[in-house]
Chain A
């Protein structure tokens, strides 16, 4: 790998990208491709790639590179492209603040506490994991309760095990993937406990990570008590009824020395908050236009900091767009304002971006609230598309072409996902 750290920071960059994970790398590439001259990525780790570096399993790049890669391979290939485009990457560094004139306050061991001016800023900080505290499990607070992502770093990068006998709360993808990793490393995984009546992660992960290894998945079941003084010793689990109330009469104890928590990701938006950009209360990420611009001029956002994606390929696509728009903004080619607001309607939890224009083609990302099959996705009265099924765990993507909207002249476009019969009626 070539020397990344710029020896001298420029006083001004066309685009400063906060975060060097998949979103940040793609944004930087997009910015360069759209004519931005100086582009700087700021990453807090000692190497770029973000969470990809610990995701050593396959499942990355099918869309972007037309082959299935592991996380580190995807990062390395992408980084290669970025470096060919002459982007400065500052690692071991942290963005402390961004002021209204887009002066970026930086902290790094190499350059100290310093500032650079940015023509445009792209927020690409990714996500953090929800913790035990987010769901308040009664009991003690011993060592050995950790997020699945932290365990992943321990196992895949540091070369340690989180424990020898592991229970997993929540069936998010990281938890499923860690179940397999731990079994392959010789630990015992005593079960995955999921509050919902369906798995949260992708079906392929349920098959490859649990079924292949005979690991039990207990649906509609949750951890109701944690035991253990210094290190966790066991958990009490119980099935839940339709209103998610644990049925304590049917509870049982599971011995374990570790509890991994895999109950989802939330956008990491401390910086977005301090910048005062408008946030979507559902996604908890910034509200964005079709150019991925936030409510603050010249501040763009992309990737998991905006909404949680299932696939890194979509992150790259969305972020390349965001970076391109940021590059355009910085070089004086600000795109025309959007003229259509998307409104999440029936069975639609969130819809990114929040606004679009009738002039360009857009990719819209939806999340549904409940499973439906078969069903129809409708954009107001102007367009509909049949879908075989939708589930809350999988993002729905829709390409909206200008011709779909030819007959549309309103300001708001409702997005619904309805059962097929309903659609026909």
Chain B
């Protein structure tokens, strides 16, 4: 007996409605995707849903008190909040460069959190 799971693709703004046919642990077919990325996304989403996290970190000596940051890769969906909480205690000092690592290996996921803009010293 095969089963069908439904997902909405988040690979791009198109938002394809994806169908994943499975039998046991085996993925038989992915349908509804407009491109290759949809296929990859559906297979990943079915077994291990992952997301990028974007949030902010406190920064001092900069024009704004918050620096935007993001995970450099996707992390398991269920740790998104914990990643944000792990950043709450952080206090950065300007200047910071775009792409600079602000928290290496967040929660042992192997994924760094990096600055998504530069901020000079005010």
Contacts and interface: CB of A to CB of B under 8 A. Distances in A.
Contact of B68 (A56, A62, A183): A56
Contacts of A69: 116
A207 B14 CA distance: 12
Contacts of A181: 55
B54 A202 contact: no
Contacts of B15: 202-204, 207
Nearest to B7: A207
Q: Is the interface on chain B under 10, 10 to 19, 20 to 34, or 35 or more residues? A: 20 to 34
B6 to A, nearest CB: 11
Given A59-B13, A212-B77, A72 B68 contact: yes
A369 interface: no
A62 B12 contact: yes
Contacts of A62: 12
A72 B59 CA distance: 16
Interface in B66-122: 66, 68, 70, 77, 80-81, 84, 98, 116-118, 120
A125 to B, nearest CB: 23
B116 A72 contact: yes
A394 interface: yes
Contacts of B10: 204, 207-208
A159 B65 contact: yes
A58 B70 contact: yes
B84 A157 contact: no
A51 B24 CA distance: 47
B63 interface: yes
Contacts of B77: 212
B118 A1 contact: yes
B22 interface: no
A10 interface: no
A63 B55 CA distance: 24
Contact of A72 (B13, B55, B63, B117): B117
17 contacts: A56-B54, A70-B54, A73-B116, A156-B66, A156-B68, A158-B64, A158-B65, A158-B66, A159-B58, A159-B65, A184-B84, A203-B15, A204-B11, A204-B15, A208-B10, A211-B8, A311-B13
Given A71-B68, A204-B12, 6 more contacts: A1-B118, A184-B55, A202-B15, A204-B11, A207-B10, A310-B13
Interface of B: 8-15, 34, 51-56, 58, 63-66, 68, 70, 77, 80-81, 84, 98, 116-118, 120
Interface of A: 1, 46-47, 53, 56-59, 62, 69-73, 75-76, 155-159, 181, 183-185, 202-204, 206-208, 211-212, 310-311, 388, 394
